[in-house]
Amino acid sequence: MDYQNKLVLAPMVRVGTLSFRMLAAEYGADITYGEEIIDHKLVKCERRSNVAAGTTEFVEKGTDNVVFSTCDEERNRVVFQMGTSNAVRALKAAEIVCNDVAAVDINMGCPKAFSIQGGMGAALLSKPELIHDVWLCGFSCILYMPCFHNTVELARRIEKLGVPALAVHGRKIADRPRDPAKWDEIADVVAALSIPVIANGDVLEYDDFSRIKTATGAASVMVARGAMWNASIFSPKGKSHWEDVKKAYLRKSILWNNDVKSTKYTIKEMIAHHSCLELPEGKSINKADTLEDLAQLYQLEDYYWTVKNNRPLAHDLHCIL
């Protein structure tokens, strides 16, 4: 994968599903990361082709639980992000999915308790020997800045292992979204490395892509919250109204048969940023049990039944995207 001069959708749990990735790409995202999948879960999966939906699915054996879904249209830009604390298991998991994605990335930044307690995410920052073993497999990674002052040194060590790119989130592990991202410290990492660095943090408008790139010297820019609130942030034409983006996302969710819980979560995140979940709309979303319920809420019943009754083959999908 080419990591130069790219606009990148960051990995976001429950948000970064096929539907949202395709939406972001439609607005202009060059690279789209999937939500983090734990290696334990992926090694229990088998690959299936869903001809009716035009997707490739990785399904937990013995169940209908789809752990990860992708399609040919995004093969050259989608990055599978993995949570791991074991190099052997990470490689085994990567081998299952690698032929259907453009790249595999290791989460070395998640500060959430469930990741750290499992030895994953930001917990890897304090385990240089494990970092060495994992990245000898040739993955890229996303790095949160360690609490101590060795971010540059750690980045240099990672580069020496042959990592093709490094995304740097400009916050310490203990920082929260309200804390300003440290673009100057990302610049220090960029200056120390020869591999592409993807800058991440406080990108909320399209103009911020150029601002952070200029400030840090990074090869590319990654955005999370700004895209979750309005995926049209990737459009050089300017943002579409979030209400229109919300409906576009729901249409993608119907088309790709997205999990209703993930769909509701993402829509509620959009609403919470722009409006209020306590309004009737938010309460109606909470009551929705199916995609059909959501389609009715947003007057998309005709679209829902068109897709439901005339599920296209893969080569026909572009006709109704």
Q: Which residues are catalytic?
A: 110
3-state helix, strand, coil in the chain (%, to 5): 45, 20, 35
Task: Tally Cβ neighbours within 10 Å of residue 97.
Answer: 21
What is the phi/psi pair of residue 23, to 5°? -65, -50
User: E-assigned strands of 84-119?
Assistant: 103-108
Query: What's the half-sphere exposure (Cβ side, CA atoms, 13 Å) at 303?
Result: 22
DSSP for 275-304, written as a single string? S-TTSHHHHHHHH--SHHHHHHHTT-HHHH
Helix axis angle, 280-287 relative to 260-274, nearest 10°?
Answer: 170
Strand partners, 103: 79
Describe the strand order of the beta sheet including 66-70 as a list of residue ranges: 45-50, 55-60, 66-70
Helices (H) and strands (E) in the chain, counts: 14, 12
